[in-house]
Chains A and B, each alone.
Chain A
Amino acid sequence: MVQTLPQENKFEYKAKKFVVWLFVVSSTIMFGGWTSYYIVFAASKHKGHGLVLPQVFNYSTAVLILSSIALFLASRALRNGDRNRQRLFLWLTLLLGLVFGVLQVEAWGILKATGAFFVNNNAAISMIYVLSLFHLFHIFAGICLIINSLVGSYRAISVERATYRQEIAAIFWHFIDILWIYLYVFLLLNS
């Protein structure tokens, strides 16, 4: 039994990683529900949000893509056994993630300033807030996973365990990156 431990261990990490994938699926479906609402709404009312989206969304999108690249480099550093580099890039990801959050809030402020309030008789405009707000909740969860991996990089935990933590952070973070790009492009195309 003792000999089979590392193998059962790996087994368990594989299964737990799968849990994250399934969460990604269900989360995609939730956003799919909202964008479907948007499509049906826009089709039946013959109108979208009708706004020029704030420039800040471009910057935040760029920041989020950069954070994904940083996280990718962190994963690569861990694969090469360079925990210091991994730590550095994780910090960078974390920082960029926070900047993204700030920029999103900034964008809401600009929307508000131009009169596109959340409480609106055009549900398509309210939907911009709903999508970005719930995406931001995901960013918060992603940041928690990154911190989890970061804490792991400071502790003497086994390579498998560190890899597992890094991998679930990576799966989730890249997912919310792609998710945001999808949402942003969706909103740009369906104005």
Chain B
Amino acid sequence: MSTISIQDTHHHGTHDDHGHGHHHETFLTKYVFSQDHKMIAKQFLITGIIMAVIAMGLSILFRLQLAWPNESFPILQTFLGKWAEGGRIRPDFYLALVTIHGTIMVFFVLTAGLSGTFSNLLIPLQVGARDMASPFLNMLSYWFFFTACVVMMSSFFIQTGPASAGWTVYPPLSAIAKAIPGSGLGMTLWLVSMVLFVASSLMGGINYVTTILNMRTKGMDLWKMPLTIWAFFLTAILGILSFPVLVAGVVLLIFDRSFGTSFYLSDIVMGTQILPNEGGSPILWQHLFWFLGHPEVYIVIMPAMGISSEIISVNSRKPIFGYHAMIYSLIGITVLSFIVWGHHMFVTGMNPLLGGVFMITTLIIAVPSAVKTFNWLATLWRGNIRFTPAMLFAIGMVSFFISGGLTGIWLGNAALDINLHDTYFVVAHFHLVMGSAAIFGMLAGVYHWFPKMFGRLMDKKLGYLHFWVTFTCAYLVFFPLHFLGLDGVPRRYYAFTEFEFMQKWVTVNVLVTWSAIIAALAQVAFLFNFFYSIFKGKVSPQNPWEANTLEWTAPIERLHGNWPGEIPTVYRWPYDYSKPGADEDFIPQTVPFSQTMSSNLPHDFEGNTIAEQVQREWDIANKPADKADLD
């Protein structure tokens, strides 16, 4: 990394309080306590990948139990000790596994790993800023996240095991330490970890919004921003507006657990003992939790949407279809996501009228979602498609979003939900629409921006292998689960053999588990490709995908401050692909209209009459008369 770039001098001159160390970067300031957004992005990504591998491992463990409930795997006892006595996962540990799998995937991988990586990497690079508004806060954001990960994982090393009340940690199960082993210290660690996580997310989100609103380069007005930036921007706003509510809820839960208050507790009898808590209501936790929880699923999916939009446009060599509609639909989703949380609570004894209201708001979300889906398909339509691994994953994201989104229409229905609530149908639905879709968006982003992060390319063939195996197996894992749910099989049940009507599904579980194992093995191809290519990959050219956005104008060797000298000025939107009359099939945002006279269109000038006049004169001089008339 260049240590004598202009930005460094600038920093030194203006930050007398933390300008130290920029000139003589040590290992510690460069790789550990880095304040450079690109390094922080990599820290988030690699931590996210490690957490994803852990969460995937946990899922394989509980899938083993589901497929072969009567079989013994002695190796499990070797690793898990008393949690897998006799080689069988214990019921309470099974609950811990699903809880931590969900928590890690939703928060640590798909919130921090996804937003943390790509918002950090792309916001300054795509809007044309030297770094985040507050690089220090940005660094702090990563280290809070890292601490949250460590605290969460530490619960595997305590006597009573990790939290086991499900990723939504509903009281009273989560509030009473004696309820199950996992509600003891494990639950406390879970809550502490979440508080740290929320702090990290808020610091990140506040930074992203501030940077986007205040630090765009010259010419980069809001309507020239790539859809990635729009998605990260709205995601960050969602986080800022919803995560504090989770903190509010968690604080009350901590008081109930550790201080004896009754915010969520009332009328509880444990064995023969009547608990003193009275007057609280566990439903209130659900309200506070889902006020965050529902926006959270959009926090997970919107960055994936933004990334896919960008990648699909670049690799279709076509402008994104309906750029404005894409943005308005993101805004629509953002706004609507705050008034739908009740659809998680239809069966809590909610007033049916209120249920009806939540049902309507929920179903309205189908509109912006469909706008986005059709726009992606229309972008692909008759495009000059380049099937890079990133493109395949982006298309995969669209596929999962469609197939998972359709079942959302079932579940959003207050009447149908009575039947489907808490069954495998729900599991199938969200694993497709926000699990697989968001993961595919994230992987698409990794393949696409890997050259920007590491200056090298990932191997294409391994990428294709990774995609096809993962894509096929993800459907094989999640699609059959719909039918379990329709048959009324509840989620989080330990042994299907214990119930007459569930026994017939054990064979399906065997298929699902084998698919999950194969999908997990496919990730080895990705991990090898990722880590090998960091060091040994083919060196990337300046603009490997021939894309228009600003990050590809920054030099390949990464320097603090992103661009040597002045930050480039932006003249046009980021989607001028295959523009008729242009020499090449892409025109970067930094190319002024004066250099592309042959391809300019009247609406490019946004009502600038002088520029229109110049263009008209040029057209008359350079184009055959009849053609000029047609324009």
Name which of B206-214, B374-382, B430-438, B442-450 contacts chain A. Answer: B206-214
Contact A123 B262 (CB under 8 A): yes
Question: What residues of chain B lie closer than 8 Å to A44, measured between beta carbons?
Answer: 281
| Chain B, 220-259, CB within 8 A of any chain A CB | 240-245, 247-249, 251-252, 255, 259
Q: Determine if B558 is an interface residue (Cβ-Cβ < 8 Å).
A: no
* Supplied contacts A32-B245, A118-B261, 13 more A-B pairs, CB within 8 Å: A1-B565, A5-B10, A15-B133, A18-B213, A18-B214, A22-B205, A26-B206, A29-B245, A40-B287, A45-B281, A121-B278, A122-B279, A126-B255
Chain A 1-20: CB-based contact to B (< 8 A → 1; otherwise 0)? 10001001101101110110
Question: What residues of chain A lie closer than 8 Å to B134, measured between beta carbons?
Answer: 15-16, 19
Q: Bound state CA distance, A122 and B263, in angstroms?
A: 8
Contact A5 B260 (CB under 8 A): no
Give 17 A-B contacts (CB < 8 Å), ordered by A residue: A1-B10, A1-B565, A11-B215, A14-B214, A16-B133, A18-B213, A18-B214, A19-B210, A25-B240, A26-B240, A33-B291, A44-B281, A119-B259, A122-B279, A123-B262, A126-B262, A134-B251
* Most chain A CB within a 10 A radius of its CB, from B202, B263, B291: B263
Q: Bound state CA distance, A23 and B202, in angstroms?
A: 8
Contact of B244 among A5, A19, A30, A40 (CB under 8 A): A30
Q: Residue on A with the closest CB to B285?
A: A37
Question: What residues of chain B lie closer than 8 Å to A5, measured between beta carbons?
Answer: 10, 13-14
Contact B240 A130 (CB under 8 A): no
Contact of A30 among B248, B262, B277 (CB under 8 A): B248
Question: What residues of chain B lie closer than 8 Å to A22, measured between beta carbons?
Answer: 205-206, 209-210, 240
Q: Residue on A with the closest CB to B245?
A: A33
Q: Determine if B521 is an interface residue (Cβ-Cβ < 8 Å).
A: no
Q: Determine if B371 is an interface residue (Cβ-Cβ < 8 Å).
A: no
Chain B 1-21: CB-based contact to A (< 8 A → 1; otherwise 0)? 000001000100110000000
Q: Bound state CA distance, A33 and B295, in angstroms?
A: 15
Q: Bound state CA distance, A26 and B210, in angstroms?
A: 14
* CB of A80 to closest CB in B, whole Å: 25
Chain B 277-291: CB-based contact to A (< 8 A → 1; otherwise 0)? 111110010011001
Q: Residue on B with the closest CB to A134?
A: B251
Q: Bound state CA distance, A126 and B211, in angstroms?
A: 39
| Chain A, 55-76, CB within 8 A of any chain B CB | none
Question: What residues of chain A lie closer than 8 Å to B276, measured between beta carbons?
Answer: 121
Contact A37 B288 (CB under 8 A): yes
Closest 5 CB pairs of A and B: A33-B248, A30-B244, A15-B133, A15-B214, A33-B245
Contact B241 A29 (CB under 8 A): yes
A-binding residues in B (CB < 8 A): 6, 10, 13-14, 133-134, 137, 202, 205-207, 209-211, 213-215, 240-245, 247-249, 251-252, 255, 259-263, 276-281, 284, 287-288, 291, 565-566
Tally of contact residues, A, Cβ under 8 A: 38
* CB of A34 to closest CB in B, whole Å: 5
* CB of B119 to closest CB in A, whole Å: 14
Question: What residues of chain B lie closer than 8 Å to A31, measured between beta carbons?
Answer: 248
Contact A23 B206 (CB under 8 A): yes
Q: Determine if A27 is an interface residue (Cβ-Cβ < 8 Å).
A: yes
Contact A118 B259 (CB under 8 A): yes
Question: What residues of chain B lie closer than 8 Å to A18, measured between beta carbons?
Answer: 133, 209-210, 213-214
* CB of B213 to closest CB in A, whole Å: 7
Q: Residue on A with the closest CB to B242?
A: A29
Question: What residues of chain B lie closer than 8 Å to A37, measured between beta carbons?
Answer: 248, 252, 263, 284, 287-288
Q: Bound state CA distance, A29 and B338, in angstroms?
A: 13
Q: Determine if A91 is an interface residue (Cβ-Cβ < 8 Å).
A: no
* CB of A20 to closest CB in B, whole Å: 9
Chain A 118-147: CB-based contact to B (< 8 A → 1; otherwise 0)? 111111001100100010000000000000
Q: Residue on A with the closest CB to B133?
A: A15
Contact B244 A27 (CB under 8 A): yes
* CB of B48 to closest CB in A, whole Å: 23
Q: Bound state CA distance, A1 and B14, in angstroms?
A: 13
Contact B244 A29 (CB under 8 A): yes
Q: Residue on A with the closest CB to B16?
A: A157
Contact B133 A12 (CB under 8 A): yes
Question: What residues of chain A lie closer than 8 Å to B10, measured between beta carbons?
Answer: 1, 5, 8
Q: Determine if A41 is an interface residue (Cβ-Cβ < 8 Å).
A: yes
Question: What residues of chain A lie closer than 8 Å to B205, measured between beta carbons?
Answer: 22
Q: Residue on A with the closest CB to B240?
A: A26
Contact of B214 among A11, A27, A30 (CB under 8 A): A11
Q: Bound state CA distance, A122 and B281, in angstroms?
A: 11
Q: Bound state CA distance, A170 and B278, in angstroms?
A: 42
* Most chain A CB within a 10 A radius of its CB, from B205, B242, B244, B262: B244
Contact B248 A34 (CB under 8 A): yes
Contact B214 A26 (CB under 8 A): no
Q: Bound state CA distance, A31 and B247, in angstroms?
A: 10
Question: What residues of chain B lie closer than 8 Å to A30, measured between beta carbons?
Answer: 244-245, 247-248
Q: Bound state CA distance, A40 and B252, in angstroms?
A: 15
Contact of B284 among A25, A40, A118 (CB under 8 A): A40
Q: Bound state CA distance, A63 and B243, in angstroms?
A: 32
* CB of A52 to closest CB in B, whole Å: 20
Contact B14 A12 (CB under 8 A): yes
Q: Bound state CA distance, A7 and B10, in angstroms?
A: 12
Contact A26 B279 (CB under 8 A): no
Contact A120 B247 (CB under 8 A): no
* CB of B579 to closest CB in A, whole Å: 33
Contact B284 A130 (CB under 8 A): no
* CB of B125 to closest CB in A, whole Å: 17
Contact B260 A119 (CB under 8 A): yes
Question: What residues of chain B lie closer than 8 Å to A12, measured between beta carbons?
Answer: 14, 133
* CB of A159 to closest CB in B, whole Å: 14
Contact A130 B259 (CB under 8 A): no
Q: Bound state CA distance, A11 and B214, in angstroms?
A: 8
Contact A123 B261 (CB under 8 A): yes
Q: Residue on A with the closest CB to B243?
A: A26
Q: Residue on A with the closest CB to B6?
A: A1
Question: What residues of chain A lie closer than 8 Å to B262, measured between beta carbons?
Answer: 120-123, 126
Question: What residues of chain A lie closer than 8 Å to B14, measured between beta carbons?
Answer: 5, 9, 12
Contact A25 B241 (CB under 8 A): yes
Known: A19-B206, A118-B259. A33 touches B284 (CB 8 A): no
Q: Bound state CA distance, A127 and B264, in angstroms?
A: 12
Question: What residues of chain B lie closer than 8 Å to A40, measured between beta carbons?
Answer: 284, 287
Contact A130 B255 (CB under 8 A): yes
Q: Bound state CA distance, A36 and B285, in angstroms?
A: 12
